[in-house]
Amino acid sequence: MSDASKKTLLLIGGGNAHVELLRQLAIEPAPQHDIALFDPAPSVWFSAMLPGVIAGHYQPSAAKINLWALCQRARVRFIQASITEVIADLQRVKVSTGESHFYDYLSLDIGSISRPIPATPGSYVVPVKPTDTLLSAIAERESIRSTSLKLSVVGGGASAVEIALALAYRWRDAPEKKITLVTEGALLSEFSSRAAAAARTACKRLGVAVQEDMRVEQIEPTRLRLSGNKQLETQITILATGAAPPELLSKINVQLADDGYVAVNSGLQSRSHKNVFAAGDCATNPKLVVPKSRVYAVRQGPLLASNLMAMMRGKSLESYVHDEKALSLISLGDKRAIAARNGWSVSGSWLWHWKNRVDQKWIEHYAFDAEKR
């Protein structure tokens, strides 16, 4: 195939869906196309294993996927840089290095960020994403000679529960480190009452204080200002407040949904630009309610990979079939976990070991030796 007939596909972000595309390309390369992946880091975290890294159950390297190596196996160019703007009408992206790149097809898999809360200057606020920033903040605090610490985790979903309990287990022999979980509503409100009860029991077991139905109105250097004129002393505040659109989506001239994410159809294709795709947290189908969760981001990977290749080959696209009954596995700090699905839940140590096997198998899926396939 001549260079003139080659199609250029740019992949923005090393999310779960793009990692799956790279895996497929490593097995069956597409040398007839020019494919490049842009990400500011050469490796990405598997978020399902992050609580285990924080708790000390895993080494950090065990929970990361080497994007650079995967790109090499897939014959995809890896460019370690951030995208600062997408000019969809001109089919160009602007890069943090100052360069501009043309594309025939574009795919976005950049996730989401933690919903911000107003903070005064001097407040120590750490969002759960990016992961490296969170882990650096934890390590920095541990390096300080003073051992006392008051830390707050803001949020009531699975991520907030997992982070708070992982930290509590990590510091289980340091009772002077106090952790409080603050949630605007009820804990694990999107799951069953039995799942929430298991999370509360785990918090009590590991010494995590829980403040439910308490909205954080302002973060200050030494305290949180809460609803009802209440306050809570804190030195570090971790935001696990649910999803918000990343900044890049405000600099991309494709149609956005009402929630600020890329509006896509059932094939994960932009509703305004048919050569643009988006998957995971950064995409919203206005006709379908899909929670911003790693469970569904992972499930969209194979479909995005299939549809990108189909589009470039001139074939028809497949539709995403949403499974509202998808299983969620929530780690509880010590080697216990909750399994929740469709209003049903169960918890126990055996579930953590099952989750561990599932997570290990998933990440090994993306660390294969291409020569053995």
Asked if residue 209 lies in contact with residue 168, where contact means CB atoms within 8 angstroms, the answer is no
Residue burial 83-116, b: 16+ Cβ < 10 Å; e: rest: beebebeebebbeeeeeebebebbbbbbbbbbee
Q: Which residue has the tokens 């029991």?
A: 201
CATH architecture of 3-112+245-326: 3-Layer(bba) Sandwich (3.50)
Q: What pLDDT score was predicted for residue 287? A: 87
Cα–Cα distance measured from residue 230 to residue 233, given in angstroms and rounded to the nearest whole number: 10
Residue spans of the domains in the chain: they are 3-112+245-326, 114-242
Cα separation of 182 and 98, whole Å? 41
Please list the ranges in the chain whose pLDDT falls under 50.
Answer: 1-2, 369-373
Residue at 353: amino acid letter: H
User: What tokens appear for 141 in the block?
Assistant: 């605090």
Residue 126's Cα: distance from chain center in Å? 15
Domain 3-112+245-326 identical in fold to domain 114-242: yes
pLDDT of residue 222: 95
Instruction: Note the CATH number of domain 114-242.
Output: 3.50.50.60
Question: What pLDDT score does 373 carry?
Answer: 35
- Token pair 């289980």 is found at 172
Which pLDDT belongs to residue 154?
Answer: 98
- Residue-level pLDDT at 146: 67
Model pLDDT, residue 277? 97
Helix (H, G, I), strand (E, B) or coil at 136: helix
CB 154 within 8 A of CB 241: yes
Q: Report how far residue 15's alpha carbon sits from residue 281's, in angstroms, rounded to the nearest whole number.
A: 9
Dig out the tokens for 272 from the structure: 């305004």
Quote the tokens at residue 280: 């995971």
Pairing relationship of beta strands 83-87 and 43-45 according to DSSP bridges: unpaired
